[in-house]
Chains A and B, each alone.
Chain A
Amino acid sequence: MSYFLQQLINGLTLGAIYGLIAIGYTMVYGIIGMINFAHGEVYMIGAFVSLITFYVLGALGVSYVPLALLLVLLCAMGFTAVYGWTIERIAYRPLRGSFRLAPLISAIGMSIFLQNYVQLLQGARVKTLPPVVTGGFHLMDSGGFVVQVSTLQIIIVALTVALMAGFSFMIAATPLGRAQRACEQDMTMAALLGIDVDHTISWTFVLGASLAAVAGLMVTLYYGVIDFFIGFLAGIKAFTAAVLGGIGSLPGAMLGGFIIGLIESFWSGYFPAEYKDVAVFGILILVLIFRPTGLLGKPEIEKV
């Protein structure tokens, strides 16, 4: 029981991180209908920017942890958002309205480019960050097995929930969110009604990238080890999460993220850990067979 609880806590933490990345995928997919393959790389860049900011703040002598965290969060979100904007501007905008596979190939190319770009600039070795946020609570102690939740895990889950709530509010009640929903339904019609489609799509990428940057920061804090290749697997899993929840649906992406995190954590806890990714993809395939549009996705109406 206590072991179960511990895996649950770890899984929720992991799921929060996947959920944040998945939002970026699902938003872009909802609006322009493309798989933004470079999104995993955006998350990786977010992790690197966080790490570098931590180093710089350390050198500047900022030692008050909450302040440092806030500064890193802002820097990571800001700089990574510029990457998100630039990627869309260079690799996707010229292909808008082109046929379906063109932006996908462009995105795969962009992803390869960004991986090697970071590898060239920062080196191929893993980068480490000593624990910044320490401490935690012992929830229960049964038979020598202590269930603990660290302060960092609480911060991660709380920040994720707060961001997701803020985000849902933004989509539901701000002019930008309204413009996004309009573009999702019908881009041409939205443009005819005076919505700046390019502007809206740019903002979508900026927002997606800054959420991915938060996920990158969390992973840097949580594991303390990053390298230039972390974007690939995390990206695939977050996309899996988005599809699992029903792509294009924001609550679906969050739910999918938590489910993927929990599956991974429980599988590693009870079964051979090497096969945890097989379990993730296996469950994805099973869900899609029985619910082809994901858990919260709306069934698509076929029009002739």
Chain B
Amino acid sequence: MNSPSAAESWIGRLKDAGLAACVAFALALPLAGFQTTDVETGQGFVTRFSWVAIAVAVVFLGKLLLDFVPRRFFPAQRAARSVAANESRTILIFGAAAAVFALLLPVMPFSSRYLVDLGTSVLIYIMLGWGLNIVVGLAGLLNLGYAAFYAVGAYSFALFAQAFNLSFWEALPIAGALAAAAGILLGLPVLRLRGDYLAIVTLGFGEIVRIVLINWGSVTGGPNGIDGIPRPSLFGLVFARSTPPGVTSFSQFFGLDFNPAQRVTFLYYVILLLALVTNWFSLRLRRLPIGRAWEALREDEIACRALGINPTSVKLSAFAISAMLGGFAGAFFATRQGFISPESFGFQESATVLAIVVLGGLGSQLGVVLAAVVLVTLPEFGREFDQFRMLLFGAAMVGIMIWRPRGILANRAPSIRLTPKDAA
């Protein structure tokens, strides 16, 4: 093979870059080149052709420079090298380190109330991610309406806690049970649908729940939501500056000065506990027959049926358990915010949780943690350039997927494997 001469390859590069620049021109001209403005007649616009020129120049130069990036950085070449994250020792060490770090976070010297609060948000998403992972990662069913179960948990917690004066710990199981019931209610009729049909039905269900929450004003408070949701207590010790007679506050009991940071830290430990229990629970589930059935079903439904596994009931159990975990997370969300409204449970929320599961690597517990940390803290870093936050969020989702299509840590190996030694 005779390689093209230097001049020819330069002409080729310039041509490529020129084409890219033409595309950039067509992309930028209508939307960046003209900006509509608000005037009396409603038909004003200003031209910003300099922006178009900048976009075209950036794309032209960018495309030229991209040619000099070594080939091995391109995704196509990387795809062959799939990431096997099954080195369980490393994972275990990392997981344990992460858990210890999470436990110590509030007492670290660099810790602050803001950081603990952010940690709480991350942990909520980790818990949601682990919950969704059961359905998407293990059972291989695509659920685009996970926020619906999150909402059912949050609203049922808020309503029960207010109507029957229940504490957080009393109402938590109710929230989980109702969310699981919602999962079964949705799952029963639709679980025999195949992949993408199921996805669109769950998406529709998510929207239905949101619309009902907005419009059923007499119960859910409509768009205004519910406020005054009770805060959790530690064995009856509340976190408040002043307490009604007969109730002891945490600071009074331990003879401390009241500090709002105590409540933030307490909430952090509550969600950390919930998340760790969720993790332990789902790791155990994987080893039970039901968990193995989920994984088998993901790989081959027909083989499962041939082996006597009832796909519907197996899928239903995955749906219900995943919904229940989402419900717990929802209940915690409600008690942490003290206020909930339908806005918090839109499709955006479902998409974020799904992104966490897929970016982390389907079926990987630690992957969910990594992805949740990245996706939840990323927008926080962007606060300085607030308006670009979501733009970067979207671009990062595309970028990470292209860089690592199977997620940061992919894990598709079965949780339990029959080794030749066992078989003998």
Contacting residue for B204 out of A115, A118, A240, CB 8 A: A240
Are the C-beta atoms of B31 and A59 separated by less than 8 Å?
A: no
Report the nearest A residue to B396, measured CB to CB: A109
Query: Which of B26, B30, B190, B207 neighbours the largest number of chain A CB atoms within 10 Å of its CB?
Result: B30
- Does A201 count as interface, using CB distance less than 8 angstroms? no
In the complex, whether B229 has a CB less than 8 A from a CB of chain A is no
A-chain residues with CB within 8 Å of residue B197 when the two chains form the complex: 243, 247, 288, 292-294
Residue numbers in A under 8 Å from B401 (CB-CB): 91, 95, 102-103, 105-106, 109
Any B CB within 8 A of the CB of A69: no
A304 proximity list for chain B (CB < 8 A): 302
Whether A122 contacts B394 by the Cβ 8 Å rule is no
* Contact partners of B390 in chain A: CB under 8 A: 112, 115-116
Could you tell me if B36 and A120 are in contact, using CB atoms closer than 8 angstroms? no
Asked whether B288 is an interface residue with its Cβ less than 8 Å from the other chain, the reply is: no
Binds B, one of A45-53, A152-160, A173-181, A187-195: A45-53
Bitwise interface map of A from 249 to 290 toward B, beta carbon under 8 Å scored 1, else 0: 000000000000000000000001011011011101100110
Residues in B whose Cβ lies below 8 Å from that of A105:
354-355, 358-359, 397, 401
Stretch in A1-9, A10-18, A125-133, A138-146 with 4+ CB within 8 Å of B:
A125-133
**Cα distance, A90 to B23, chains bound together (Å):** 12
Chain A residues whose CB sits within 8 angstroms of the CB of B30 once the complex forms = 48-49, 52-53, 75, 79
B 8-36 contacts with A by CB, 8 A: 23, 26-27, 29-32, 34-36
Q: Tell me which of A29, A104, A121 contacts B35 (CB under 8 A).
A: A121
A106 nearest CB across to chain B (Å): 4
CB-defined interface of A65-95 with B at 8 Å, one 1/0 digit per residue?
0000000000100110011011000110011
Residues of B with C-beta under 8 A to A239? 200
Are B31 and A49 closer than 8 Å at their CB atoms? yes
**Does A64 sit at the interface, judged by CB under 8 A?**
no
Q: From known contacts A113-B391, A120-B387, A121-B31, infer whether A281 and B397 are also in contact, taking CB-CB under 8 Å.
A: no
Q: Are A289 and B190 in contact (CB under 8 A)?
A: yes
Most buried by B among A52, A58, A130: A52
Residues of B within 8 A of A52 (CB): 30-31, 34, 36, 45
Q: B199 touching A110 by the CB < 8 A rule? A: no
Which chain B residue lies CB-closest to A59?
Answer: B45
Which of the candidate stretches B61-69, B90-98, B208-216, B333-341 sits at the interface with the other chain? Answer: B208-216
Q: Which residue of B45, B76, B358 is within 8 Å of A101 (Cβ)?
A: B358
B405 touches A55 (CB 8 A): no
Inter-chain contacts of A240 with B (CB < 8 A): 200, 204
Given A112-B397, A281-B204, A302-B302: A101 touches B362 (CB 8 Å cut-off): yes
B35 touches A292 (CB 8 A): no
List CB contacts (< 8 Å) of B370-397 with chain A.
387-388, 390-391, 393-397
Residue of A nearest to B199 (CB): A35
Complex interface: chain B residues within 8 A of A166 (CB): none
Q: When each residue 21-62 of chain B gets 1 if its CB lies under 8 Å from chain A and 0 otherwise, what string results?
A: 001001101111011101001111100000000000000000
Name the residue on A nearest B75 (C-beta).
Answer: A94
In contact, B36 and A94 (Cβ under 8 angstroms): no
The answer to whether B266 has its CB under 8 Å from any CB of chain A is: no
Q: Are B43 and A58 in contact (CB under 8 A)?
A: yes
Known pairs A51-B36, A98-B79, A275-B215; list 11 more (Cβ under 8 Å): A55-B34, A56-B34, A90-B398, A102-B406, A105-B358, A106-B401, A123-B36, A243-B200, A247-B196, A278-B212, A288-B193
